[in-house]
Amino acid sequence: MEVLAFLECLPYLIFFADDLIDILKKKHALGSYKTLVFYLEACESGSIFEGLLPEGLNIYATTASNAVESSWGTYCPGEYPSPPQEYETCLGDLYSVAWMEDSDMHNLRTETLHQQYELVRKRTSNGNTAYGSHVMQFGDIGISRDHLFAYFGTNPANDNFTFVGENSLVPPTKAVNQRDADLVHFWDKYRKAPDGSARKAEALKQFMEVMSHRMHIDNSIKLIGKLLFGIERGPEVLNTVRPAGQPLVDDWKCLKKMVRTFEADCGSLSQYGMKHMRSLANICNAGIQPEKMAEASAQACVSIPSGHWGSLEKGFSA
């Protein structure tokens, strides 16, 4: 049985790479699928599989970005093409839109996974501008020789389509960093609201709460790094990127403990704070013990900004 899996990371969906890989290994051992094709949309999504997904599980995975960069929103307010006036949010992600629109228009009986990967990779890189990311592939790459039809089925209306190696789906001239999509929403809501209205005041309040939360998370992580490693070495340790092919962290239990320790004193990381997961992983990789991390977190976070962004009412992220 050929299986297609698509996962887009939503604000309320938090999972760790080691847990996903364990599930995939168990599904393979149980014979739950013959081959599995996995599309993953998330910032730094390459870190989910890099150094972790082995060959031999009959899984072919592609990701919206490599392990160190953001993914990008598209069809956003104020951009071209823009969503209908009544929508105040980005309608899609550049990578996801690329593979879905490609699937909609091509003959999937003749197009292979590899051909689609190349088209999606080119479109998502957005001409190697600052408004794009590097699509990656992992696992059993040989599966990419399969035709898309085996996983998607096909639209009979496209059966006469002749595949060409050029990308007829032109990328937007600009896209929005996925982590700024909420800012785009609140700003567009503010911009459209009548002057002096309650809606305008609420949109501004929401925008300022988001910005306050972001500044708090950024400054707290930076200060913790300096407390643990010193003023000069702190930023160097936190920003370290491991060589290609290595997983984000050696001890995933340590990473989850560091996340929980940080959030206990500093509030929820939220989706925006996931950008600092590498910094927390590097704290583990440097051998810092949870007790020392707890001391630094308590010292760095004397208070937490008001608003639901830092709230732990939905529980810890780990």
Tens digit of pLDDT for each residue in 171-218? Answer: 666 789 999 999 999 999 999 999 999 999 999 999 999 999 999 999
Closest among 128, 300, 310 to 223, alpha carbons compared: 300
Least confident stretch, 106-115, 159-168, 180-189, 262-271: 159-168
Q: pLDDT at residue 168 above 80?
A: no
To the question of pTM greater than 0.75 for the whole model, the response is yes
Please give the residue that has the higher pLDDT: either 62 or 310.
62
pLDDT of 312 reads 79
CATH architecture of residue range(s) 2-178: 3-Layer(aba) Sandwich (3.40)
Q: Hey, what CATH class is 211-310 in?
A: mainly alpha
pLDDT of 7 reads 60
Q: Select the highest-mean-pLDDT range: 39-53, 125-139, 174-188.
A: 39-53
Going from N- to C-terminal start, the domains of the chain cover 2-178, 211-310
Q: How would you write the chain as a 3-class SS string?
A: CEEEEEEECCCCCCCCHHHHHHHHHHHHHCCCCCEEEEEEECCCHHHHCCCCCCCCCCEEEEECCCCCCCCEEECCCCCCCCCCCCCCCCCEEHHHHHHHHHHHHCCCCCCEHHHHHHHHHHHHHHHHCCCCCCCEEEECHHHHHCECHHHHCCCHHHCCCCCCCCCCCCCCCCCEEHHHHHHHHHHHHHHHCCCCCHHHHHHHHHHHHHHHHHHHHHHHHHHHHHHHHCCCHHHHHHCCCCCCCCCCCCCHHHHHHHHHHHHHHHCCCHHHHHHHHHHHHHHHHCCCCHHHHHHHHHHHCCCCCCCHHHCCCCCCCC
